[in-house]
Homo-oligomer: A and B are copies of this chain.
């Protein structure tokens, strides 16, 4: 029986680190979870829409977590071309926190996508369309109903690198597999674990996109544990997982007083324990050997990103132990009790794995 694993520090390709007190609490937890490269979401208030805003935010994060290499994104694609940053996130309207300013009609962005394709930039898509009762569209099929848009954009820009963010459905897995080498998927920790039953009445499991049917979770699990041979040349990448399906946690902390209420905010908080959670889940799948590529290599490979000097491939050791109990909550601020506390994923549960030696 495997009782410890040693892997490179992980990369999280979809992360919300918030602002203010919440940012100050969460950001140092990135490294605690074994993550050394983080791709930061722009949906703040106001949203990050230009380079100056992104640089200022990045400096704040780096001051809080100097071990972590941060990559920034924009909430709008229109300024991407001029940016010193090579990413661009497009968020459909109305389906995630602070995304009211998102977009729906993708064709008006085709000139931007064209420029991004030429520049080798990566397009991140929050692949859900807004609910429409007349068309039977709701949270359970909002992702699947978006997929024809993904295919359309891919067909129009076959060389544009596209990441379908936080995929949750069998349909998405199949589509991304089929579209070929320029289209990838990020997958969260919690969507490898949860189904719809788990957020029915359970506010801390409620996120967007919502977790779906057992067979959807099974499709996510199977693709990250699949035996497909990578087209890459790195010997580590052979036969373990799928190189276009990688970790993006979408960890999204909210204080419990906006979760345990009549209208819960959407989001699951996994940042402090990313690798222990994944060790638990991959072990339960009988696929601990697939964890490294999913969490550490495939995302960086697809994006073509590096960690900053001195932090390349530092190791994290995880050990299997009894009574590794997830904290009940994380206080947002020691100075301001009114800021509340964030209940993490699987709070009070024994996850059976912990980091014995971190990368920093």
Contact = CB atoms under 8 A, between A and B. Distances in A.
Interface stretch (A129-137, A159-167, A240-248): A129-137
Contacts of A196: 138-140
A137 B259 CA distance: 27
A183 interface: no
A79 interface: no
A227 interface: no
Interface in A251-267: 259-266
A85 interface: no
A129 to B, nearest CB: 13
Contacts of A214: 131, 133-138
Interface in A175-204: 195-197, 199-204
A144 B199 CA distance: 20
Contact of A202 (B136, B138, B263): B263
A264 B202 CA distance: 6
A274 interface: no
A139 B200 contact: yes
Given A133-B195, A214-B133, A203 B262 contact: yes
A215 interface: yes
A206 interface: yes
Contact of A136 (B133, B215, B261): B215
Interface string A265-288: 110000000000000000000000
Q: Nearest 10 A-B pairs (CB), nearest first?
A: A201-B264, A133-B214, A201-B206, A136-B215, A136-B214, A138-B197, A260-B261, A139-B197, A139-B200, A138-B196
Nearest to A132: B214
Interface in A136-161: 136-141
A330 interface: no
A158 to B, nearest CB: 34
A213 interface: yes
A11 interface: no
